[in-house]
Amino acid sequence: MNQLRLSALALLTGAISGAGAALVLGLIGVITRALWGDPLVEGLQRQIPLIWSLAVCGGIGLLLSQLHRAGDQTLLPELPETIAELLDPDHAPPRNNGRAILSAALAQIGGGSIGPEALMTRLAALLSQRIWRGRDHDLKLAATAGSLGLFGFPLLGGAVVQSDRHRDLIARWIPGVLGGGAGFAAFHGIDQASGGSLQRIPYSWPSNLGEDLGSFSSAAIAGVVGWGLGWLLLRWRSWLEPQQLLAHWRWWPALTGLLLGLTMHWLPLVPFAGEEQLRPLLEGVNRIEPSVLMISAIIKLLLLGLCLETGWRGGLFFPLFFIACAAGIGLNELSPGLGSLGSWCGGITGAIYLTVLRSPLLALILGLGLLQGHGATAVLVGMAVAWLITHRPQPGDAPPPGLQTPDSPECPEPQW
């Protein structure tokens, strides 16, 4: 009976938290579209007035500079930090959650190259703390996992919040995942967060051995490209983090906003998370030169790292997905006789997620879920390539010498 009660509480907590986060994301989406207009949000508008983009993005950057004056406690924690704080609340650093959530919402509205999942999971965790005031942190994890139901894959929440100390799947966070997914679906949270379904895009499968080899080859090459993009982001962030940019100069958010405004004028695919920009690209509605796509993907990746380190806080999932697909579309157009669009996008997606997130299960669920079955085999190939590169032996990593015994030929004779 007690286990049934906990399951019901987890289900209720996950559903309410997911629905609440969906409502907030929906409101952010409405404000964003009212401010920028649908064509710009979807990457279809060219040459937005430079004065307008600089004024809005720079103005929001100034607001973020003011909100973050109090220090790091005003920054929205990234998704791994939120999960770590839920697992070990006694050692969680103090947070000004009001300022953190407001600043993250402004970053979404202002066109930051960041995703919504960090804001979403933080909202879900705070809502669950309001609903469940006891010490059962598993229910807070249930709410956080439940909020990730917006991806359409309830297991995603489990892959993110898994912990050696939280293995009671049936009684705890799986009901929260399902409840959160139901809450998002009821409030159209899935469409709000993913830019709609990709099911209208026709599926393609190889019909002969030549196409099989072409798809496998393109997926393997895409895996190398995806690993390279992921490695670039990790190196970029590892260089930025020790700089402590906000601690040394409080106006970094404003400068980042001006950079976003500049890119919004000349490269409209760089700002925003990319969920609304992706479907027109994949459906062929938005025709862009391959070179522009590749440049946009790299600049978006660099701005993603800069945003996260200068107060424009958010998530990685959707920007990485867009970067992978933009690069995949560009490579597919540059090599039309090799593979398919699905094999290029799938290979890069699987590889970049595995490289950055360091979790094969999470990379697999994200790749298959966001591509909705397109390039499923390529996702696996890209992940395998990235895993092999990441775990390749490094120079100087010689195997340890074997244990020597008196019978070993290289063992010196004992001196009696």
pTM for this entry: 0.83
How confident is the model over 307-335, as pLDDT tens digits? Answer: 999 999 999 988 999 999 999 999 999 98
- Contact criterion met (CB below 8 Å) for 356 and 320: yes
Per-residue confidence (pLDDT) for residue 209, from 0 to 100: 46
- Contact criterion met (CB below 8 Å) for 242 and 16: no
Which two tokens mark 203?
């599926």
Residue 333 vs residues 131, 281, 288: alpha-carbon distances, Å: 51, 12, 10
Asked whether the predicted pLDDT for residue 210 surpasses 70, the reply is no
Which two tokens mark 26?
């929906």
Alpha-carbon distance of 183 to 195, in angstroms, equals 17
Classify domain 209-244+251-390 by CATH architecture: Orthogonal Bundle (1.10)
Question: Which residues is 115 bridged to in the sheet?
Answer: 315
Q: What is the DSSP string of 358-391?
A: --HHHHHHHHHHHHTTTTHHHHHHHHHHHHHHHT
Q: What is the dihedral of CA 101, 106, 107, 109, to 10 degrees?
A: 130
Q: Which of 279, 297, 274, 250 is nearest to 61 (CA)?
A: 250
Task: Work out the mean pLDDT of the chain and round it to a whole number.
Answer: 79
Per-residue confidence (pLDDT) for residue 182, from 0 to 100: 60
| CATH 1.10.3080.10 residue window(s) in the chain | 209-244+251-390
Which two tokens mark 145?
């996992």
